[in-house]
Structures are given as C-alpha cells and as structure tokens.
Amino acid sequence: MRAMLFAALSMLAAGPALAQTDDRILNDVFAVLRGEAILDQTRQLCLDFADTDLSADFVDWRARNDETLRLANLLLIRRPGLEPGMLDTLRAEAESEAGASFGREADRPAFCEEMGEAMALEALDLKAWFPRQTTRMSEALAGKWPPLDLTDVPPVEDAIEVKQLFFAMQDGLVRCGVLFPPAAPYDAAYAEWEARNSYTRDLADRVLENWGALHPQRWADARDEAGAIVDETFADKDAARAQCERTLTQVPSGELDIDQQRPELFDSVRRNAEIMP
C-alpha cells in the first residue's frame, strides 16, 4: 500500500502542468514546490474529510525539508524565466490534482494513515521524492546548468515537430469522425496509431525536458501551427473525405508511423533523448 501511495503521489507531482518555463532548473524547482503543495493540500483534505490530523507529521516534514525549500526559493530569485502568476498557477494545479486524487480513494482514512507513515519514514522527503531535480538544483546553485538559449535549436525543433504530428493526427481524425460519421473507426485508428508511436513521443518529451523547453506558450504555438495545417486539409470537403478514408487504410499498415513517415525526426529524438546539453 505504501509503495502504491508513493507511486500515486509521484505521478501527481510529475503530471502535466501549465506552470512550466523554458529553464530546466526552474522546472526542477517547480516540480519540488508542486510536491510540497500536493502534500500540504492532501494533509488538509485528510483533516477535513477523513478525520485524520497529519499536522505534526507535516511540521516534522517541513523541518527536515527546510534546506531544500530554501534552495528552491533562492533559485526562483536567481534564475531568469519566472513570470507573474506562475507560482499561483502551480499551487492551484497542485491543489486541484490532490483533490481529484483524494476523491478517487475508496478508503480515505487508510490512505491518510499510509501517507502519515510514509512521511514519518522520510519516504516523501523531497530529496528522496525528487532525487534528480534536487541534485541538479544544488549543482545549479554552484554554477552548473546555466540557462540555455532555445532559439533555433534543432533538437528542440525536431521534438516539437514530433509533438505536432500527434496534435495533427488527433485533430484530423476527430474532424473525420464529426464530418464523416461514424466516429468509432477514426477513434480506433488514432488509438492504434498513438499506441505504436508512443515511444517516439516519449523520446521527444525527454528531449524537451532535457533542454527545459516546457513553457506553455511553446505548446500553444505548436498546437496552433498543427491546427492550421489540418485546417488547410479540411478546407475542401471532398479532399477531406478522401484524406480521412486514406488514413483509415494507412494506419493499420504502419506507413503513417513516425519512424516510417519521418525517419529523420525519429532518429533525431532517439539520439538527443540521451544527451543532456
């Protein structure tokens, strides 16, 4: 049970977030602060809805993690890229995620008891919870991991293009289902394509994380560009119908898989996923 709790909280803290930047160290700081906010919110939920008071455990946790939290706050001051409202967004996200996770728990008192035990055993201390991030934060304070210029960086551009292929495929097949029902074959086609290409997407995500290229505006721009391409395809209904029908036959054959359709992108993300700039 304790292992399941740790895994669940780790997934929450590492989940998709609007509060991200284009600086990898700030993103590490945000991961740590998100974890602290999730614990704090879960502590309050346990008190309000499970009649479990974890205040003493949390006070002890804060004392043990004070050095790491001080380091996080110092890096917030020293690193460029922190924008107004980002920390408020981070806390709101963490509280929402913690609330949703807590709401799914069938036995909330048992969950809260396990969380208290995990905190007491120091399993949820930030250095244990986020070893890579906290190590890199300490190194950054000593002068390592300077901010990177992400302008016209080929590995980042290739990884973003991989993400755009996912955006475009999903958007296109959703439109196919709406314009040329039934939608089920198109939903199945996307599920099949996504499953086969998820490894490539994971590689692209690792490249972007390595470079710190995670600002939400970057994702918004990428989606807009992909959507504009799909708009062009669907401007003519007859051409769109032909494209939709063609996609249904091409997906099962694998010819639309990224490693087949764009082998240069696949090679790029596979190579650069292992490189820490």
**Domain boundary pick from 141, 173, 207:** 141
Domain identity same for 129 and 7: yes
**Domain boundary pick from 141, 174, 207:** 141
Domain identity same for 175 and 251: yes
**Domain boundary pick from 109, 141, 173:** 141
Domain identity same for 9 and 114: yes
How many domains does the chain contain in total? 2
Domain identity same for 60 and 98: yes
Q: What is the pLDDT along the chain (277 residues), one digit of tens a residue?
A: 455 555 556 555 555 566 799 999 999 999 999 999 999 999 999 999 999 999 999 999 999 999 999 999 999 999 999 999 999 999 999 999 999 999 999 999 999 999 999 999 999 999 999 999 999 999 999 999 999 999 999 999 999 999 999 999 999 999 999 999 999 999 999 999 999 999 999 999 999 999 999 999 998 999 999 999 999 999 999 999 999 999 999 999 999 999 999 999 999 999 999 999 9
Instruction: Find how far residue 73's CA is from the centre of its chain.
Output: 22
Domain identity same for 106 and 193: no
| Measured CA angle at 118 (ends 114, 123), to 5 deg | 155
Is residue 245 in a domain? Answer: yes
Domain identity same for 28 and 135: yes
Domain with 16, as residue range(s), is 2-141
Distances (CA, A) of 211 to 22, 74, 75, 157, 240: 8, 21, 18, 11, 37
Domain identity same for 112 and 8: yes
Domain identity same for 131 and 193: no
CB atoms closer than 10 angstroms to residue 135: 12
pTM here?
A: 0.87
Is residue 148 in a domain? Answer: no
Cis peptide before 182 (omega within 30 of 0): yes
70, containing H or E segment: helix 66-78
Domain identity same for 23 and 123: yes
Domain identity same for 182 and 129: no
CB atoms closer than 10 angstroms to residue 178: 10
